[in-house]
């Protein structure tokens, strides 16, 4: 039994059988897929008498902050969601949930659920957990407070009627590392507001080091970004860089617990300890050191997110990291990257630092040549684009589709079987400085240009499943039986997109590559700060 019970829904404690990118299964429409798909891939993290042996990183940070702020070890427990009942009794004052996408309003979910018209798996499991906790509260007559925080907490403030139906007492939004103890004591005393909005940000020294293993060995290397994209909540936060000593301490903790992996998490790993805050030229030495330190403890080192502009600005940095992590034909480095749009106009309007040290006009060139740098060094970028950016036009959207065609053609001709990338269109969600805009609902708002954008992104995805998945499966024999299913699945998606387009009056047409756009990175001088300064 515990005073403070921390937990999350089951989509954040599933290993998904270590299948790459299947963490996004939680965004899938629960009522549109066979239930066996969710049951089969939902392999849960182990627990020790109901306590998670690994936990989502955000939960670990809250746990560490509470222990630092005076709560004792036996008062705070990080419980497996399937065992939460074991730890709740009359001594429990708070049950707090860490959530990423509780109501299915995130960009990926909105795309896959037709603008949240269908239930996604995350929202189903979140509701199940909340209802179980409420039944415990009612059946035993307990007085604890039910609290929800984490990156998805805004959804419960946005849809207050759902929050009230679920009888959630408090929603916490913002970073809490520096004020966790204060917030939890205010909730216990009854003096806390229903919505607790933390407007301040912790300084680096106020961010605690985790005290127990994080899920998949995730370790935060920086917080915020600094590029300031208007649609992106994390990028609007002040950028803070975690000292290398703290990062090493967390990696060591995870590895000593048997986790043979280090996922280096940031909004843009290539901005770690960046010094050039005008042009965002990477501090290559600091980024390389980051990977060198992680590699001392495990051979499995991966970044989570990075920018294509950062990779293109410092090709030697990418090459050196590849050497450190032994990247090669049988070991690709995966990274999630924001493509967003091919339109220089939209990039300049909403993301005027995203392409730096390059210009908005160079953005299509940056995407093509940056992908070349990634692929040449055995990096596999998983790009995301945005459907329905405010003010977009068919011209902008068709340009995005044509850039996908151009990248496929030019990279294939230059690199052959070493050319790999994916593009996943996501629905625009009003966040950051664009909160006053409308959610993008694909079935109601789709235009012809957006349809072509969607079609060509998935057409390339089908190509990658056919050509790229066999290489991935070499390191995961479990996936081999699913190769035919994956190929069939992408073909079905393509057919359905074409059929759906016809119902809207849209026909697929062949698009030509963008004129004059080619791979020329080795002809231009982007290899050092000196040549960058000369070039500008």
What secondary structure does DSSP assign to 442-482, as a single string? HHHH--HHHHHHHHHHHHHHHHHHHHTHHHHHTT-GGGGGG
Question: Is the backbone of residue 297 left (phi > 0), alpha (psi -120 to 50) or beta?
Answer: alpha
73 three-class SS: coil
> Based on the number of CB atoms within 10 Å of its own CB, is 135 exposed (0-12), middle (13-18) or buried (19 or more)?
exposed
- Tens of pLDDT along 193-217? 999 999 999 999 999 999 999 999 9
Q: Mean of the pLDDT values across residues 12-41?
A: 87
Distance between CA atoms of 149 and 143, rounded to whole angstroms? 19
pLDDT score recorded for residue 110: 87
Count the alpha carbons within 13 Å of 229 in the hemisphere toward its beta carbon. Answer: 24
Regarding predicted confidence, which is higher, 240 or 227? 240
Q: Which of 362, 371, 354 is nearest to 536 (CA)?
A: 362
| Contact between 122 and 11 (Cβ < 8 Å) | yes
Choice among 44-58, 107-121, 196-210, 363-377 with the minimum mean pLDDT = 107-121
> Based on the number of CB atoms within 10 Å of its own CB, is 130 exposed (0-12), middle (13-18) or buried (19 or more)?
buried
Tokens of residue 535, six digits: 């070039």
Does the global pTM surpass 0.85? yes
Q: Taking the domains of the chain in order of start, what are their residue ranges?
A: 4-197, 213-535
Distance between CA atoms of 81 and 95, rounded to whole angstroms? 11
- Tens of pLDDT along 72-98? 999 999 999 999 999 999 999 999 999
Residue 252 has pLDDT above 50, yes or no: yes
pLDDT score recorded for residue 442: 86
pLDDT score recorded for residue 533: 39
- How does residue 480 score in pLDDT terms, banded at 50, 70 and 90? low
| Contact between 326 and 294 (Cβ < 8 Å) | no
pLDDT score recorded for residue 486: 64
Residue 114 has pLDDT above 50, yes or no: yes
Q: How far is the CA of 185 from the CAs of 3, 150, 353, in angstroms?
A: 11, 18, 40
Tokens of residue 401, six digits: 């589709």
Q: Mean of the pLDDT values across residues 341-366?
A: 94
pLDDT score recorded for residue 477: 59
User: Selecting from 3.60.10.10, 1.10.645.10, 3.80.30.20, 3.30.479.10, what CATH number does the domain 213-535 have?
Assistant: 3.80.30.20
Q: How many angstroms separate the first and last alpha carbons of the chain? A: 63
pLDDT score recorded for residue 230: 61
Mean pLDDT rounded to a whole number for the chain: 91
Residue 535 has pLDDT above 60, yes or no: no
Q: Mean of the pLDDT values across residues 293-305?
A: 97
Distance between CA atoms of 402 and 408, rounded to whole angstroms? 10
Give the position of tokens 């299964």: 25
pLDDT score recorded for residue 162: 96
Distance between CA atoms of 524 and 519, rounded to whole angstroms? 10
Residue 173 has pLDDT above 60, yes or no: yes
pLDDT score recorded for residue 229: 74
- Tens of pLDDT along 418-452? 999 999 999 988 866 677 788 888 888 999 999 99
How many Cβ atoms sit within 10 Å of the Cβ of residue 41? 15
Q: Which of 19, 60, 76, 61 is nearest to 42 (CA)?
A: 19
- How does residue 532 score in pLDDT terms, banded at 50, 70 and 90? very low
- How does residue 302 score in pLDDT terms, banded at 50, 70 and 90? very high
Q: Mean of the pLDDT values across residues 388-392?
A: 92
């Amino acid at each position: 039994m515990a005073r403070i019970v921390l937990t999350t829904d089951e989509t954040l404690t599933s290993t998904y059988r270590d299948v790459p990118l299947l963490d996004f299964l939680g965004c899938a429409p629960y009522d549109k897929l066979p239930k066996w798909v969710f049951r089969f891939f939902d392999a849960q993290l182990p627990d020790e008498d109901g306590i998670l042996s690994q936990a989502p990183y955000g939960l670990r940070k809250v746990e560490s902050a509470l222990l630092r702020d005076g709560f004792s070890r036996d008062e705070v427990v990080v419980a497996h969601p399937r065992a939460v009942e074991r730890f709740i009794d009359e001594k429990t004052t708070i049950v707090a949930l860490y959530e990423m996408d509780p109501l299915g309003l995130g960009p990926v979910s909105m795309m896959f659920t037709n603008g949240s018209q269908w239930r996604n798996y995350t929202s189903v499991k979140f509701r199940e957990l909340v209802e179980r906790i409420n039944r415990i509260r009612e059946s035993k007559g307990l007085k604890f407070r039910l609290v929800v925080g984490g990156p998805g907490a805004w959804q419960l403030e946005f849809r207050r009627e759902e929050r009230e139906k679920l009888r959630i007492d408090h929603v916490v939004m913002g970073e809490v590392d520096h004020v966790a103890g204060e917030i939890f004591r205010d909730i216990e005393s009854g003096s806390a507001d229903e919505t607790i909005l933390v407007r301040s940000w912790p300084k680096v020294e106020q961010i605690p080091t985790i005290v127990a293993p994080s899920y998949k060995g995730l370790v935060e290397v920086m917080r915020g970004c600094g590029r300031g994209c208007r649609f992106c909540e994390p990028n609007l936060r002040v950028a803070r860089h975690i000292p290398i000593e703290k990062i090493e301490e967390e990696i060591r903790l995870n590895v000593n617990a048997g986790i043979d992996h280090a996922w280096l998490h940031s909004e843009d790993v290539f901005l770690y300890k960046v010094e050039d805050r005008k042009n965002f030229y990477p501090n290559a030495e600091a980024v390389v050191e980051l990977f060198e330190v992680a590699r001392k403890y495990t051979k499995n080192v991966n970044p989570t997110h990075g920018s294509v502009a950062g990779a293109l600005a410092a090709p030697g940095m990418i090459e050196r990291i590849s050497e450190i992590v032994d990247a090669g034909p049988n070991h690709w480095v995966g990274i999630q990257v924001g493509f967003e749009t091919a339109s220089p106009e939209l990039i300049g309007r909403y993301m005027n630092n995203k392409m730096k040290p390059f210009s908005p006009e160079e953005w299509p060139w940056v995407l093509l040549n940056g992908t070349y740098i990634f692929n040449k060094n055995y990096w596999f970028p998983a790009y995301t684009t945005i459907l329905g950016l405010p003010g977009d036009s068919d011209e902008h959207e068709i340009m995005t589709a044509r850039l996908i065609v151009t990248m496929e053609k030019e990279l294939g001709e230059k690199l052959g079987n070493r050319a790999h990338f994916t593009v996943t269109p996501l629905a625009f969600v009003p966040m950051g400085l664009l909160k006053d805009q409308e959610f993008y609902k694909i079935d109601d708002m789709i235009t012809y240009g957006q349809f072509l954008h969607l079609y060509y992104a998935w057409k390339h995805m089908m190509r990658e499943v056919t050509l790229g998945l066999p290489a991935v499966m070499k390191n995961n024999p479990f996936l081999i039986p699913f190769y035919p299913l994956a190929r069939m699945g992408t073909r079905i998606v393509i057919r359905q997109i074409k059929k759906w387009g016809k119902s809207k009056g849209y026909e697929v047409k062949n698009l030509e590559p963008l004129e004059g756009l080619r791979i020329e990175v080795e002809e231009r001088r982007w290899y050092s700060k000196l040549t960058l300064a000369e070039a500008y």
